[in-house]
Structure 1
Amino acid sequence: MTDTPTTEPRIDCHVHVFDPARFPYAADAWYTPSPAETGTPDQLGHVLDAHGVRHALLVGPNSGYGLDNRCLLDTIARHPDRYKGVAVVRHDASRAELQALQAQGVVGVAFNVALLGVDHYRDTGPLLEHLRELGLWAQVQVEGEQLCALAPLLRDSGARLLFDHGGRPRPADGLGQTGFDTLLGLADTGRAVVKLSGWAKVSQQPHPHADVVPYARALLQAYTPQALVWASDWPFLRAPARIDYGPLLDWLAQLVPDAAARQAILWDTPRRLFGFA
């Protein structure tokens, strides 16, 4: 175990909030979190405080809320200096709707290709144009080879691109798999960023997920700490095994032992990219 100093300034760039007592889940939700998976804004605050995390990027979940961003927006409104958000919107959301979300602390829009499939997002050209014009992020979650089909649309859009969970490669397919190669290739756009997070979703091994370390190192080489951020994915919905917050920070410390590089990933880069004070 690596001794990770709690005095390091930190930003968690992928968490969810669920508060069904105040914001009931949608009746047609794709997945309804169990009580053990629920993470209220107050619970999130306690977790962040315990681990010295000063800010977090709240991501609107398809689970529970779908297109309902009220819980996310309420959490930001209660703590505007601590949180920013990534909303879930209709593909035909207008520029005015996006501007209204932006005024409430939203910095991007989620594209959950891993859940909804490539075809679901083929008509998002106009939405990506709005995002580019407003300086908002297209936060994209893909898995396997999905990015190969979407890369031309994303590259040509000119929008800022934020990729979830290391691109969710398949360790059994090796470093040369085309989806991950495509992600590495997008580093040359200068407007793509990747989250070092969510490895439990793809690893075939228990924590510390040795089989995904080569992918994380490849991302470090291609993107550098100036275009990489860290995230926990708290409160760990549908986790295949127990996940705890502290070991995730320790995993990053082992991957990036250089303190300056680690500070860039944990603090400097997300603070600059997402506008945290």
Structure 2
Amino acid sequence: MPAVDCHAHAFNLARQGWGSDRGFDISPGELGTAEQFLHLLSLHGFTHGVLINPLGGYGANNTYMLEAIAAAKGRLKGVALLPDGTPEAEIRRMVEGGIVGIRFNLDFPTSPPLHGEAGQRSLARAREVGWMVQVHYHHNDSIVAAIPILRAAGCPVLIDHSGRPDLAMGLDQPGFQALLEFGRSSDAIIKLSGLFRLTQEGAPYHDTDPYIASLIEAFTLDRCIWGSDWPFLRAKHRTDFAPLLDALARMIPDAADREKVLWDNPARIFRLTAD
């Protein structure tokens, strides 16, 4: 069946150098090209992928991602960063080039902001072109102040990396509970990714199971997608593709339900076709 890895990053220094506005550096062991990502997908039976601009490495420059999407002939889409003041011609280029959303990194000072007037301008531009709004944060309480903005955004909303709960704080931590309520009371989408960022034990990530189960209950399977986060930037533990897929199969044991998470939902959200 077709399947989508909804979260990966790609870097090719032969095509694009590092950006001066990058949020963090990429180490040599974290480099991976779009061609290598597509090869990895094929090895694991995946047909499509979504590239995310992480702010690290290239900063807010989306050039290589657009080049990679064009070369992939329909297998890739992208989620970009949109600096305030981006020219309309560049936005048109992004839309035509396969960009389907913009990302806000709530805890990175160099990220285009969600809050304030600049954030409102970005959200307005996203509405105009039909982009989704993807939100990432490192501190799980950062979502609390963002939720009212996201409710009023008028765009599809996607939360990255399972909402980044702090496992040491338990299921009742306020930020995670606010995210669960947001899932129950909105049409927001949750990305079941980043287990290697959440775990205190490492693979096979059993300690993350209660959090993923709570997210599936709150958002429902119709609003869950999955991503590997390849090539595993700034990972705390040894990370590989297969253990992450194994954890997904453990949490969603029914094959039809997994098909919904791996294909039906992302195909709808990211405008992908099986052809």
TM-score if structure 2 supplies the norm length? 0.92
> Which residue is 1:21 aligned to?
14
Task: Answer yes or no: is the 8 Å Cα contact 1:129–1:159 preserved in 2.
Answer: no
- Tell me, yes or no, if structure 1 residue 134 matches structure 2 residue 129: yes
Q: Distance in 1 between matches of 2:187 and 2:112?
A: 24
Pick from 120, 125, 136: which aligns with 1:125? 120
The Cα of 1:224 is off from its aligned counterpart by 1.4
Q: In the TM superposition, what whole-angstrom CA distance separates every residue of 1:139-163 from its partner, at most 9, and x where no partner exists? A: 1002310011111111111221111
Residue among 261, 268, 271 paired with 1:275: 271
Structure 1: gaps (5+ residues):
1-7
1:61 equivalent to 2:61? Answer no
After superposition, where does 1:124-163 map in structure 2 within 5 Å? 124-142=119-137, 143-163=139-159
Structure 2, unpaired ranges of 5+: none
- Per-residue displacement from partner, 1:180-219 (whole Å, max 9, x unpaired)? 1221122245431010001111221211222221110011
Q: Which residue of 1 aligns with 2:258?
A: 262
| Deviation of the 1:118 alpha carbon | 10
Q: Please give the secondary structure, in 2, of the residue aligned with 1:98.
A: helix
Match for residue 106 of structure 2?
Answer: 113
- Partner SS state of residue 67, structure 2: helix
Other structure's SS at 1:115 match: coil
Equivalent position amino acid for 1:40 in 2: T
Select 1:45's aligned residue among 25, 32, 38.
38
Query: Aligned partner of 1:157: which letter?
Result: A
Q: How many residue pairs align between the two structures?
A: 270
Aligned to 2:92: 99
- DSSP-derived class of the 1:121 partner: coil
Q: Deviations over 1:231-263 (max 9, x none)?
A: 000000111121111111111001100111111
Q: CA RMSD in A?
A: 1.9
The verdict on how the C-alpha distance between 1:80 and 1:119 changes in structure 2, with shifts beyond 3 A counting, is closer
Alignment counterpart, residue 70 of structure 2, candidates 60, 74, 77: 77
The aligned residue for residue 194 of structure 1 is 190
How far is 1:130 from its partner? 2.1
What's the CA shift for 1:17?
0.5
User: Who is 2:221 aligned against?
Assistant: 225
Q: Percent identity?
A: 40
- Using the TM superposition, give the Cα deviation of residue 22 of structure 1 relative to its aligned residue in structure 2, in angstroms: 1.6
Question: CA deviation digits over 1:123-179, x for unaligned, max 9?
Answer: 201211221232211110023100111111111112211110001011121212221
CA separation in 1, counterparts of 2:172 and 2:109? 25
2: CA distance between counterparts of 1:232 and 1:199? Answer: 9
Q: Does the 8 Å contact 1:112/1:140 carry over to 2?
A: yes
Q: In 2, Cα distance between the equivalents of 1:119 and 1:42?
A: 28
Please state whether the residue corresponding to 2:233 is helix, strand or coil. coil
Deviation per residue, 1:56-114 (Å, 9 max, x gap)? 01001211100111110000011131000001111343555433311110000010113
Q: Which moved more, 1:184-193 or 1:145-154?
A: 184-193
TM-score (norm 1): 0.92
Deviation of 1:117 after TM superposition, in Å, equals 8.7
Report the 3-state secondary structure (helix = DSSP H, G, I; strand = E; otherwise coil) of the residue aligned with 2:268. Answer: helix
* Paired letter, 1:187: G
